[in-house]
């Protein structure tokens, strides 16, 4: 597990820097938005509704839940989680292609334990990125007034971790199935884009709202959590369950997989 994390230190390092810088800067910017909420609302009226919905920009941005959801959790986190989860989850396919996996499995280390360690590094990596985002918000919050509800922001970080796991689990399964990093990453990225578009279309056309039920983005909304303290237990369990199921199935498939293919 630690070896996998060390091999990913450059990627995780840059993602941590980007996440901390963006989340911290946007949080400091909240004071300006809250003080000039009416002006921002008028400015947003100039843009097409479709564009605002696509970027999750809706509601009163003086509300901390709407602000953090729109500018950080709905905009920054899906990108960071997707990059980190896909890169970490598909490493096993890259190792198989380069022959590194043959060296590892030539030892007494069982292949299932090797993949389990990789899965553990994925979980730790995603948790690190989610903690960085929450930590940057909390630190920047010390510099501004009014304050964000810290406990609710921390809870939103837990929900963000579940979203990241929902990407990493299926990505690991596809990496094991294809043993091709490019194909696995491409499929996961394509599905995420499709899910995002389905969520946008459902928001613009309520008559096809059912389309969004298969989108992971439908179940990742922290506005009510941060604004009112209502934790989305069912949504977190669903996202986390998808991640755990993907990881579990990948362990079963990896044990039976012909790595020479």
What confidence tens digit (pLDDT) does each residue in 134-177 have? 999 999 999 988 789 999 999 999 999 999 999 999 999 999 99
Q: Are 9 and 66 in contact (CB under 8 A)?
A: no
User: Considering only 27-41, 192-206, 209-223, which range has the smallest mean pLDDT?
Assistant: 27-41
- Global pTM? 0.90
Residue 261, pLDDT > 70, answer no
CA distance 210 to 131: 33
Q: What is the pLDDT of residue 128?
A: 96
Q: What is the pLDDT of residue 243?
A: 97
CA distance 138 to 23: 10
| Percentage of residues in the chain having pLDDT higher than 90 | 54
Sequence spans of domains, the chain: 2-256
DSSP 62: T
Q: What is the pLDDT of residue 50?
A: 66
CA distance 118 to 163: 18
Q: From the DSSP assignment, how many helices (H) and strands (E) are in the chain?
A: 13, 0
CA distance 101 to 148: 46
CA distance 100 to 106: 10
Q: Residue 125: which pLDDT band, with cuts at 50, 70 and 90?
A: very high
């Amino acid at each position: 597990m630690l070896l996998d994390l060390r091999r990913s230190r450059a990627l995780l390092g840059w993602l941590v820097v980007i996440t901390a810088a963006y989340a911290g800067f946007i949080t400091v910017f909240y004071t300006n938005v809250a003080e000039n909420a009416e002006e921002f609302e008028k400015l947003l009226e100039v843009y097409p509704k479709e564009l605002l919905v696509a970027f999750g920009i809706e509601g009163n941005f003086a509300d901390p839940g709407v602000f953090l959801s729109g500018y950080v959790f709905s905009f920054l986190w899906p990108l960071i989680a997707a990059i980190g989860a896909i890169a970490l989850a598909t490493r096993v396919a890259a190792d198989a292609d380069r022959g590194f996996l043959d060296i590892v499995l030539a030892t007494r280390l069982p292949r299932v334990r090797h993949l389990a360690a990789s899965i553990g590094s994925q979980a730790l990596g995603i948790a690190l990125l989610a903690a960085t985002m929450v930590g940057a918000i909390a630190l920047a919050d010390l510099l501004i007034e009014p304050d964000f509800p810290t406990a609710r922001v921390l809870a939103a970080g837990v929900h963000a971790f579940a979203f990241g796991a929902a990407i990493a689990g299926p990505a690991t399964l596809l990496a094991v199935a294809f043993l091709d990093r490019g194909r696995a990453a491409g499929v996961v990225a394509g599905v995420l884009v499709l899910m995002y578009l389905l969520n946008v279309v459902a928001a613009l056309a309520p008559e096809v709202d059912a389309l969004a039920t298969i989108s992971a983005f439908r179940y990742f909304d922290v506005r009510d959590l941060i604004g009112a303290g209502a934790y989305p237990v069912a949504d977190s369990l669903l996202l986390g369950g998808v991640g755990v199921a993907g990881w579990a199935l990948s362990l079963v498939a990896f044990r039976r997989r012909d790595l020479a293919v």
